[in-house]
Structure 1
Amino acid sequence: MFSTATAYARPQQFANAYRHIGTETGVSGATPHRLVAMLFEGYMDAVAQARGGMRAGNVERKSRGIQRALRIVGEGLRENLDMKSGGRLAQDLNDLYGYLELRLTQANIRNDEAILDECQRLMQPLQDAWNAIGETVGGFSGRG
C-alpha cells in the first residue's frame, strides 16, 4: 500500500510530509503508524474547520481548512502510496484520494457543506481501519 514493503517503514518520509502540511507537533518520536494516524486526525480537523468557516460565513477559515485537508490528502497520504508493490489496495486508495481532492475543491467553490460531510464520511472508515490495525499490531491505541 505505501511505498515500501511494509506500512511501518520510511518514518522520515511520513514525518516530513506531516511537517510539510503544517499539522500539530508531536512528530518526533512517533512511529510511522502514528504519523499516518496523525494525518487522518489532521484531515478530520481540517474538514471540521472548513465546515465551521462555512457556517460562520468566514471564507478565509473555510478556505484554510479545505486547503489543509487537500494537502493532507495529496502530500501526506496519496503521495506516499506505493503504486508498484501496493497492488489493488494502493490503486483504490489513489482513486479515492483523487476523488476526495476533487470533492474538496468543489466544496470550496460551491460553499457546500454536504460535500464536506461526504468527504468526512469517505475518510472515516480508513481512519477507523488504520486505528484498528494499530491496536492489533504493536499495541497502537488510536491516540498515542
Structure 2
Amino acid sequence: MYKVGSQAYQQVNLETCVSQASPHQLIVLLFDGALNAIRLAGLYIQKGNIAGKGKAISKAINIIDNGLKSCLDLEQGGEIAENLDRLYHYISHQLILANLHNDQEKLQMCFDLLNNIAESWREIA
C-alpha cells in the first residue's frame, strides 16, 4: 500500500517539475531520467533481475532517442548538433549491447558519456 502511495507521489512530483520547467530544465530532467535508468539497470544486473534490467535500459534508450535526440536542431545546430546526434546514437547502441551481454562496463561508459553532457547542461544554468 505504501509503495502505491509513494509511486503516486513521485508521479505528481515529476508532473509538477515538468509543467513548471523551462526548456533548459526539461533537457536536464531528460538527462537525469536517462542517467537514473542506467544506474538502475546496473543494480538490476547485480541482483540478477533480467526483466528489470531490460526495462531500465529500454527506458534510458527511449529517453535518449525520443527525448534528447528529438530536441536537436540539426539544421541550425551545426556541427555540435550533428556530433550530439552521433553520440546519442552511439550511446543507445552501446546500451543495447550492454543489455544483451549484461555488461556493467558498457553501462558505466554510457553513464559517463551522458553524464559529461549533462554536467555541461547543468553549468549553463
**C-alpha separation in 2, matches of 1:84 and 1:31:** 22
Report % sequence identity: 34
Which of 51, 54, 58 in structure 2 is aligned with 1:67?
58
Which of 96, 105, 117 in structure 2 is aligned with 1:114?
105
Partner of 1:42: 33
SS in 1 for 2:19: coil
**C-alpha separation in 1, matches of 2:70 and 2:25:** 17
Partner of 2:85: 94
Give, in angstroms, the shift of residue 48 of structure 1: 0.8
- With structure 2 as the length reference, what TM-score do the two structures score? 0.86
Give, in angstroms, the shift of residue 80 of structure 1: 1.7
Structure 2, unaligned stretches of length 5 or more? 1-13
SS in 2 for 1:27: helix
Give, in angstroms, the shift of residue 125 of structure 1: 1.1
**C-alpha separation in 1, matches of 2:29 and 2:93:** 22
**C-alpha separation in 2, matches of 1:125 and 1:60:** 28
User: Counterpart of 1:69 in structure 2: which amino acid?
Assistant: A
1:103 paired with 2:90, answer no
**C-alpha separation in 2, matches of 1:68 and 1:103:** 14
1:52 paired with 2:15, answer no
Give, in angstroms, the shift of residue 75 of structure 1: 0.3
SS in 1 for 2:76: coil
Which of 24, 35, 40 in structure 2 is aligned with 1:33?
24
Give, in angstroms, the shift of residue 60 of structure 1: 1.1
**C-alpha separation in 1, matches of 2:65 and 2:90:** 11
- With structure 1 as the length reference, what TM-score do the two structures score? 0.75
**Per-residue displacement from partner, 1:54-90 (whole Å, max 9, x unpaired)?**
0000011101110010001000001221111100000
RMSD: 0.8
Give, in angstroms, the shift of residue 97 of structure 1: 0.4
